[in-house]
Amino acid sequence: MGTYIVKAFGTEAPEAALKQMNIDRREVTEKDVEIDILYCGVCHSDLHTARNEWHGTLYPNVPGHEIVGRITKAGNGVTKFKAGDLAAVGCMVDSCRECEQCRKGSEQYCEKGNIQTYNGRDKHLNRQTFGGYSERVVVDEDFVLRVPENLELSAVAPLLCAGITTWSPLKHWNAGPGMKVGIVGIGGLGHMGVKLAKAMGAYVVVLTTSPSKADDAKRLGADEVILSTDKAQMKAAANTLHFIVDCVSAQHDVNAYLKLLKVDGTLALVGAPEHPLPVAPFSLIPARKNFAGSTIGSIAETQEMLDFCGKHNITADIELIRIQDINNAYDRLLKGDVKYRFVIDMSSLKN
Ligand code: NAP
Ligand code: ZN
Ligand code: ZN
């Protein structure tokens, strides 16, 4: 299969800084589109993967799965897009398309594992996939999303992971009027969780370790804010929430948050710290509580979320950076020092 070279930013080893490199992209096949990447969000998963914190990184690694751009080429069999259209790509670029989950349109739960946008296995080139910290990407149109025209494009990028990863559990567990929903960890994912849960009509309770975010949370849409480091505030909130989305990227005590659930309440983990998170039996047993997990969302759900955001004028709060500042952005991400998502202006890679 023919390939061509594009510029990218990536890393060769867990301890190495990200730097400019060349990667190859496949020539568009019948069903592929080529996207000129305009913006790419910086997800904490990029950092976990670049630094091999999940222990499966293939190097070189080019992160980035919050991609928006413009279509530059479309294969002969492409029906949904044409050159010039805006388009977006999230965390997956393919799946087996045959298993029970794929057949029912839950390709994120493909029984063979969905093919991730980076650090997945490219079916065509038989090597790891490379993500959006690059000039261009080539993706099967079935895994490409349409972008609402009325939204600021740079602030749309984070919807492709942070948006869908919080939207999907909120929908699955029926967030809406009459539900008290807690969002833990107000980074990229968490701040989208607050905005989306509020727009769905839920009563939203923010749980943060950062006093400065506590002050800002109501602007994002929170009805109530709890500083989770304050024992008295946590105690007062015991048994009050129906559902919690836990978006924390680092080790933390989930038992402290499980205490806040009512009988039959669920805590859905989307944050994925490196090490196990111990759950005490009596955090669950006395009130039939559920400790669950959720990963991204299907392509159909992602489109539904993007259309909803277009309709309700919802985007991420972002800080635009140049690709050359990515290593500094990772350091700041580790300190929780971002309000609330870094987005790379990919034109900086072209200069
Ligand atoms: P992020 O922007 O770095 O936000 C993480 C937030 O967690 C921080 O802003 C902070 O919020 C909180 N936090 C950090 N350290 C903490 C600690 N020790 N104790 C309590 N809270 C702490 O990260 P993100 O991009 O939103 O990603 C969050 C996690 O979700 C990552 O692990 C990422 O890999 C994972 N993820 C999962 C999926 C999925 O499909 N399941 C998809 C995308 C990302 P406060 O300042 O408010 O406390
Ligand atoms: Zn992500
Ligand atoms: Zn499958």
Which residue out of 249, 294, 340 has the highest number of ligand 1 atoms within 8 Å of its CB and is therefore the one to mutate?
A: 249
Q: pLDDT-based confidence at 253, cuts 50/70/90?
A: very high
Distances (CA, A) of 206 to 22, 127, 221, 257: 42, 41, 9, 12
Q: Give 108's DSSP letter.
A: G
Q: Model pTM?
A: 0.98
In the chain, DSSP finds a helix count (H) and a strand count (E) of: 12, 16
Q: Which ligand is nearest to the CA of 186?
A: 1
Strand order in the sheet with 224-227: 224-227, 203-208, 180-184, 241-246, 261-269, 290-293
Assess whether the C-beta atom of 43 lies below 6 angstroms from ligand 1.
yes
Which protein residues have a CB closer than 5 Å to ligand 3 (ion)? Answer: 95-96, 99, 102, 110
Assess whether the C-beta atom of 161 lies below 6 angstroms from ligand 1.
yes
pLDDT > 70 in the chain, percent: 100
Measured from the Cα of 210, ligand 1's closest atom is 46
Rounded to an integer, the average pLDDT of 258-279 is 97
| Protein residue whose Cα sits closest to atom 18 of ligand 1 | 250
CATH code of the domain made up of 162-293: 3.40.50.720
Assess whether the C-beta atom of 129 lies below 6 angstroms from ligand 1.
no
CB atoms within 10 A of CB 255: 16
Q: Which ligand is nearest to the CA of 101?
A: 3
* Strands 67-74 vs 318-322: parallel, antiparallel or unpaired: unpaired
Structure tokens at 51: 């630094």
Assess whether the C-beta atom of 45 lies below 6 angstroms from ligand 1.
yes
Q: Report domain extents, the chain.
A: 3-161+297-350, 162-293
Query: Does the CA dihedral 239-189-206-279 come out positive or negative?
Result: positive
Tell me how far the alpha carbon of residue 201 lies from the centroid of ligand 3, in angstroms.
Answer: 33
Measured from the Cα of 45, ligand 1's closest atom is 34
What is the pLDDT, as a whole number, of residue 1?
86
Question: What pLDDT, in 10s, does the model give residues 77-129?
Answer: 999 999 999 999 999 999 999 999 999 999 999 999 999 999 999 999 999 99
Tell me how far the alpha carbon of residue 89 lies from the centroid of ligand 3, in angstroms.
Answer: 19
What is the pLDDT, as a whole number, of residue 260?
98
Counting other chains too, the contacts that 348-351 makes at CB distance below 8 Å and 24 or more residues apart are: 348/322, 348/323, 348/324, 349/7, 349/8, 349/9, 349/20, 349/133, 349/134, 349/135, 349/323, 350/7, 350/135
Structure tokens at 171: 């929908």
Counting other chains too, the contacts that 253-261 makes at CB distance below 8 Å and 24 or more residues apart are: 254/278, 254/279, 254/283, 254/291, 255/279, 255/280, 255/283, 256/228, 257/182, 257/184, 257/207, 257/228, 258/283, 258/284, 258/289, 258/291, 259/234, 259/283, 260/182, 260/207, 260/234, 261/287, 261/289
**H or E segment to which residue 71 belongs:** strand 67-74
Measured from the Cα of 272, ligand 1's closest atom is 32
3-state DSSP percent of the chain in helix, strand and coil, to 5: 30, 30, 40
Say if CB 244 and CB 257 are below 8 A apart: yes
Judge if 3-161+297-350 and 162-293 fold alike in CATH terms: no
The class that CATH gives domain 3-161+297-350 is: alpha beta
Assess whether the C-beta atom of 247 lies below 6 angstroms from ligand 1.
yes
Phi/psi region, residue 130 (left: phi>0; alpha: psi -120 to 50; beta: rest), is beta
Is the pLDDT confidence value at 166 over 80? yes
Is the pLDDT confidence value at 247 over 80? yes
Question: What pLDDT, in 10s, does the model give residues 5-55?
Answer: 999 999 999 999 999 999 999 999 999 999 999 999 999 999 999 999 999
What is the pLDDT, as a whole number, of residue 350?
86
Tell me how far the alpha carbon of residue 11 lies from the centroid of ligand 3, in angstroms.
Answer: 29
Is the pLDDT confidence value at 351 over 80? no
